[in-house]
Amino acid sequence: MDASTSELPLFPPLQANRSGMLPVDDLHTLYWEECGNPRGVPVLFLHGGPGGGISPRHRQFFNPEYYRIVLFDQRGAGKSTPLGEYRDNTTQLLISDIEALRAMLGIEQWLVFGGSWGATLALAYGQAHPQNCLGFILRGIFLCTRAEIDWFMYGMRWFFPEAHAAFVAPIPLEERGDLLQAYKRRLFSDDAQVSLQAARDWSRYEGHCLFLKPQPEMQQVLEDDVVALGVGRLEAHYFLHHGFMEEDQLIRNLDRIRHLPAVIIQGRYDAVCPPVSAYRLHEAWPQARLQIIADAGHAALEPGTAAALVAATEQFRLQQGFT
């Protein structure tokens, strides 16, 4: 591991206290884990993607003496099975999965922490079940609008032309007018090798656009076949269905969670989820605190962003009266 990742301002590594597999229907089984203080304030970590999965480092945003930290791989991601499965995989079903996990663990309310697609899901979950939320820590805002999806497919080339050129290269000229449909045909091909290669190409493209300063080792994580299959297939699936939400639904429904404390943390040079979405969210939700990180891109594991996320979890802890 390079110095930039080993010296991040996170809490020390910790082991899961317990973990398991939760069947949520006849097709999907979710991997979950819990760490930290079993009697602490519950916090739910929602990973990005869709399809990105969790990693041990995600446990380290939270003080383990005070938080009961719950993490899980969403449908089709990480250790959940089947990997990359897009059938019976919608935002509404993910929300029901969160509720099933909460009920299984006997948790009444929790702090909801999510970045990128995890922030999208956090907002959608909170708006569906505000009574079960203590507050929100949101990073790298993605509202799943048509403009944001179009930006991902085409706009990032303005900043990462070489990465976009590599993303487009496998697609014949006559199909490049609709890259999402072109990738759909390959990602969901009956030929497993065609599907895997398309997933690798998709995930590599995103990985090259995540950071303000290149982090080759972290980019390689996204090129792992398990991560690539989850990210490539499920991001395309959710993009094709506009996140299974109406346009601007997350902005229109903010009144349902406006009363809850929230922090919005956004990298100034986020090329994947540009700051305009965080700004729009804050304009519609001025009660939430917006923090722009001047020297960061999209990834949570950039020094300024990681520090802000840890500070936000600590501030919430202190506001809850834990010292």
Three-state SS at 81: strand
Question: Which entry of 58, 195, 270, 277 is annotated as an active-site residue?
Answer: 270
Beta partners for 45? 71, 113
Please answer whether residues 158 and 257 qualify as being in contact, where contact means their C-beta atoms are separated by less than 8 angstroms: no
Query: In the chain, where does DSSP find H-type helix?
Result: 3-6, 91-105, 117-128, 146-153, 161-168, 179-187, 192-208, 216-222, 225-240, 249-252, 275-284, 303-319
Q: Is-catalytic flag, 201?
A: no
Question: Which entry of 129, 208, 282, 298 is annotated as an active-site residue?
Answer: 298
Give the position of tokens 């895997």. Answer: 196
Backbone angles phi, psi at 264, to 5 degrees: -115, 120
Query: How many other C-beta atoms are found inside a 10 Å radius of the C-beta of residue 320?
Result: 14
Q: Is-catalytic flag, 270?
A: yes
Structure tokens at 201: 């190409």
Question: Which entry of 73, 80, 116, 129 is annotated as an active-site residue?
Answer: 116
Q: Is-catalytic flag, 295?
A: no
* Residues involved in catalysis: 116, 270, 298
